Amino acid sequence: MADTLNPAISVARATVYQSTWLELAATLPDNMPAATLAIVDGPYNMKKADWDTFRDWDHFVAWYRPEMEELTRVLAVDAAVYLWGSDESEGYLRPLMRDLGWTFRGS
> What is the model's pTM?
0.82
Which of helix, strand or coil describes residue 7? Answer: strand
- Cα torsion through 66, 67, 70, 76, rounded to 10: -150
User: pLDDT in tens for each of the 107 residues of the chain?
Assistant: 445 788 889 999 998 888 888 998 999 999 998 999 999 999 999 999 999 999 999 999 999 999 999 999 999 999 999 999 999 999 999 999 999 999 887 65
Cα separation values, 87 from 83, 92, 103, 104, Å: 11, 9, 17, 15
